[in-house]
Chains A and B, each alone.
Chain A
C-alpha cells in the first residue's frame, strides 16, 4: 500500500485558534473536503473560512408541503366518493376546504423538515464514530485526513497553534 491516510483530531479551546488551524491546514495542502469541524455550539462556515455546507432540508420541506397539500385536496374531495348531504352547505364547502388545506400543508411541511434532518444527517447512527466528549463542553475539534508519513508534521503544526490535544481519531462508540 502506498501513502495511507490517517485521520487526526485536534481539539482547540476557542474559535480563533480553530479558524487559524483551518487556514494552516489549507496552506499545508489539504483540501476542504478532507477537513471537518466538530463543535459544541453552532458556528457558521463563514466564521471558520469554510465553504457553505449544502443542505437538502429546505427542498424536502417544500416537497413535504406539496405532499401535504395534495393529501388535503384528497380529503376535501372525499364527499365525491360517498355523498352524504348535510343541510344548507354545498357538497364541497369553500371555507372548510381552506382550513383543511392549510393544516395538511403545514403538517406535511413540518414532518418532512423533521425527517429531512434525519435523512441529511444520517440519523440515527449508532455505529462507532470519531468524537471526543470535550466537544460538548464547548471545544472546537478539527478533524482531518493527512498522509501517514506527515503525521508528526501536522501534529506539531496544530500544537503550535494552541491545540489542547492532537490524537489519532479512532471510531469509538459514542
Chain B
C-alpha cells in the first residue's frame, strides 16, 4: 500500500523508526576518557550555555548539555572507580522525546537525521524532558545573566535561549551546517574528520569520535563495527546514535 507520505520525497528517509539508519553518530571510548570535563566546558562555550549559579546547580538545574557521570564500586577504603561516562543527547532514531511535545518543538530532522529542539516553538511543558530515558534535556528555569565581559564569549552561530525553553545537545548542528555549506560551495562532499563538534574537538584524549554513520569509510563507522561497542539503555529500543566502548 502506498504510504500517505512518501518519505523519500519529503527528504525524511530515516526519520521513522523502521528506516532509521542514522547519519551523524558518535563513538565514545570510556577507556580513554579521563573525566577532565574539557568536553563539558567546550560545549558550554560553543553553545552559549548559561551559568546557573551554585545554588541552582546544586538543586539539579545545571544547564550543561553534557555531563560526566562518575560512579564507584565497593565501600571505603576498598573503593574502585568505574569508567567515566560522558552522557549527552543520544539523538535517538526512535526518540521518546519527540511524540510527546504538543507543539512539535522536539522533532526529527529529515536532513541530518538528528533530534532537533526548536527553541522558538517550545512552550515549556517539559514532557520531553520527563520522557527522555537518558535525562539529557535541560530547561531554562530563569533568565540568566551574562555580566560583562562574559557576553563577549557568545557564539554568534547559536541562539541565546530565554526562560521557559528546553535545550539539549545538537551534535553542534551549526558546525555541521557550516561544514556542509563549505563543502557544497566547493562542490564536494564533507570529508570525514573535516570538522568535529565542540566536545570531540576539545577532548585531549580523543575519546570522542564523530562522523557519518552511513559512510562505510568513516572512522566512526569503523569503530562502531567493533564488537565491544554498547549503547545506553539499548533495551528501550530508542536506537541511539552514540556508541560507547566501556573499557571493561
Contacts and interface: CB of A to CB of B under 8 A. Distances in A.
- Direct touching of A and B (C-beta under 8 Å): yes
Contact of B5 (A86, A87, A91, A93): A91
B107 A90 contact: no
A84 B104 contact: yes
B84 to A, nearest CB: 28
A88 B99 contact: yes
Contacts of A91: 3-5, 16
Contacts of B104: 84, 86
Interface stretch (B32-40, B57-65, B89-97, B190-198): B89-97
Interface in B1-58: 3-5, 10, 12, 15-17, 20
Interface residues of A, number: 13
Nearest to B15: A85
B10 A87 contact: no
Contacts of B20: 87
A46 interface: no
Contacts of A90: 16
Contacts of A84: 104, 107
A90 B3 CA distance: 10
B212 interface: no
A88 B5 CA distance: 15
Interface of B: 3-5, 10, 12, 15-17, 20, 92-96, 98-99, 101, 104, 106-108, 110, 115
**What are the 10 closest A-B residue pairs judged by CB atoms, nearest first?**
A88-B94, A85-B15, A86-B98, A87-B95, A88-B17, A87-B98, A85-B108, A87-B108, A86-B99, A84-B104
Contacts of B110: 85
A80 B5 contact: yes
A52 interface: no
Contacts of B10: 83
Given A87-B16, A91-B5, 6 more contacts: A83-B5, A84-B107, A85-B16, A88-B93, A91-B3, A92-B4
A103 to B, nearest CB: 15
A89 interface: yes
11 contacts: A83-B5, A85-B12, A85-B15, A85-B16, A86-B99, A86-B108, A87-B92, A88-B95, A89-B16, A89-B17, A90-B16
Contact of B4 (A80, A86, A87, A88): A80
A87 B12 contact: no
B107 A86 contact: yes
A150 B65 CA distance: 93
B193 to A, nearest CB: 28
B16 A83 contact: no
A93 B99 CA distance: 10
Contacts of B115: 87
Contacts of B5: 79-80, 83, 91
Nearest to B16: A85
Interface string A86-113: 1111111100000000000000000000
Nearest to B6: A83
Nearest to A92: B4
A17 to B, nearest CB: 61
Nearest to A77: B4
Contacts of B17: 87-89
